[in-house]
């Protein structure tokens, strides 16, 4: 999402009410009961899990996708809970609702449904399954803010939901996250861990970094940005927010600006994504993430799976990058195979997650692109696959 240096400077002048105003805007956008802005999406998830653990001490297991951002697993462990990784669908790359139903039990506290790359999970089936098992559905809408399922905004189905303001997300700020509460009975439980968070002010490190990101957010400068020390652009983040805090007012002010532009930017990305999909249709060796109704995706990036070895996928990724195309593989291991993960003794196999790790590739959908650029990217990929 394009945010300018002027946007950052204006946000730095935000008053102490900026966080409350941002929380109300996000709450209203999703039709939620309440919204709380904190230092990161992973911190929001950690707060949600801590609140649920205190409320249901007899349940200690969380079901989560075997293929997702590693910080989801970090939040589960940091909350003192046991994670069981459920395999994903080969079609939409999301948590497989049928498999979730097999592993729901009286031990399960929550199910985390991550809407990968902007495409919603099967929310109808997951919602019903969780309600019947007495588990809480938590939506991870970090990559899908503004997406819809059956006409309803993603983030409004689970009793709790989290979103992220990271720069790679479609709702981009200067970092931060939001915890959405859709069940009024959970509001007080969430407030308990929230009351222990400190409030930060403008950071002398974060603001210059955000200014650099804004100044270099163009197709011709982004390669430079990726090479600057301390930017960590494109690097996989496996860390947890060790000192969660409330979102500083200036970051909340920037988030309010981003939210006002969200639908326009999502519409642009959707046009570019559909152009890429049309051009890739029928290309041998490429499986595009399925987006069948009632899903309405927001295309944070176009996710595909190549029918190729990891080595060939990596070679294609490097070849696209040499041509100036910011193609990237995301999440290099299934969750149960990270060395810090505490594997459950009854962890089921996850072959589809392993196939995604070996063959996934995401193609860029940026505001500076045209539909012609999208077509060129698709043809580049097809040429490389055939050569």
pLDDT, one tens digit per residue, over 287-317 is: 999 999 999 999 999 999 999 999 999 999 9
Which sign does the torsion angle of CA 304, 126, 62, 180 carry? Answer: positive
Total domains present in the chain: 2
Say yes or no: 97 and 177 in one domain. yes
Q: What is the pLDDT of residues 281-295, one digit of tens each?
A: 999 999 999 999 999
Strands (E), the chain: 34-38, 61-65, 82-86, 108-114, 136-140, 148-149, 152-153, 160-164, 177-181, 198-199, 245-246, 286-288, 295-296, 302-306, 360-363
Model-level pTM?
Answer: 0.94
What's the CATH number where 188 sits? 3.40.640.10
Question: Among the three residues 258, 273, 293, which one is the final residue of a domain in this structure?
Answer: 258
Residue 345: which CATH number? 3.90.1150.10
Q: Do 325 and 301 belong together in one domain?
A: yes
Per the document, the length of the chain is: 387
Residues 118 and 185 in one domain: yes
Q: Are residues 93 and 232 in the same domain?
A: yes
Last residue of a domain, one of 232, 258, 284: 258
Q: Are 27 and 156 in contact (CB under 8 A)?
A: no
Contact between 15 and 248 under an 8 Å Cβ cutoff? The reply is: no
Q: In terms of domains, do 229 and 337 share one? A: no
355 in the same domain as 300: yes
User: Residue 220 pLDDT > 80, yes or no?
Assistant: no
* 334-377 pLDDT, tens digit each: 999 999 999 999 999 999 999 999 999 999 998 889 999 999 99
Instruction: Check whether residue 242 and residue 304 sit in a common domain.
Output: no
Q: Domain residues for 244?
A: 5-258
Domain boundary among 258, 287, 306: 258
Same domain, 75 and 152: yes
């Amino acid at each position: 999402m394009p945010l300018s240096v002027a946007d950052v400077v204006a946000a730095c002048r935000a008053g102490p009410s900026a966080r409350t105003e941002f929380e109300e805007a996000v709450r209203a956008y999703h039709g939620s009961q309440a919204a709380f802005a904190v230092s990161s999406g992973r911190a929001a998830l950690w707060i949600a899990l801590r609140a649920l653990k205190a409320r249901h001490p007899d349940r200690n297991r969380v079901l989560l996708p075997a293929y997702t951002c590693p910080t989801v697993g970090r939040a589960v462990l940091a909350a003192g809970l046991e994670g069981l990784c459920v395999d994903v669908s080969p079609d939409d790359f999301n948590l497989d609702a049928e498999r979730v139903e097999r592993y729901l039990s009286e031990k399960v506290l929550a199910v985390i449904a991550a809407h990968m790359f902007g495409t919603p999970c099967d929310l109808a089936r997951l919602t019903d399954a969780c309600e019947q098992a007495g588990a809480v559905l938590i939506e991870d809408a970090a990559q899908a803010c503004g997406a819809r399922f059956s006409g309803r905004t993603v983030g409004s189905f689970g009793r709790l939901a989290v979103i992220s303001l990271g720069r790679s997300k479609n709702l981009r700020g200067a970092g931060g996250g939001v915890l959405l509460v859709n069940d009024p009975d959970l509001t007080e439980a969430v407030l308990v861990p929230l009351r222990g968070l400190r409030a930060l002010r403008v950071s002398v490190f974060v603001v210059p970094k955000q200014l650099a990101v804004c100044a270099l957010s163009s197709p011709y400068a982004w390669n430079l940005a990726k090479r600057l020390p301390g930017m960590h652009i494109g690097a996989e983040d496996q860390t947890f927010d060790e000192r969660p805090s409330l979102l500083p007012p200036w970051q909340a002010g920037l988030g309010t600006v981003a939210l006002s532009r969200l639908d326009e930017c999502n519409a642009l990305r959707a046009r570019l994504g559909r152009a890429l999909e049309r051009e890739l249709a029928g290309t041998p060796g490429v499986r595009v993430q399925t987006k069948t109704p009632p899903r309405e995706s927001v295309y944070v990036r176009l996710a595909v799976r190549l029918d190729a070895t990891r080595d060939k996928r990596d070679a294609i990724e490097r070849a696209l990058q040499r041509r100036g195309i910011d193609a990237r593989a995301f999440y290099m291991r299934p969750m149960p195979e990270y060395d810090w993960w505490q594997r459950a003794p009854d962890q089921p196999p996850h072959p589809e997650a392993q196939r995604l790790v070996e063959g996934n590739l995401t193609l860029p959908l940026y505001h500076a692109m045209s539909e012609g650029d999208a077509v060129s990217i698709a043809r580049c990929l097809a040429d490389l696959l055939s050569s």
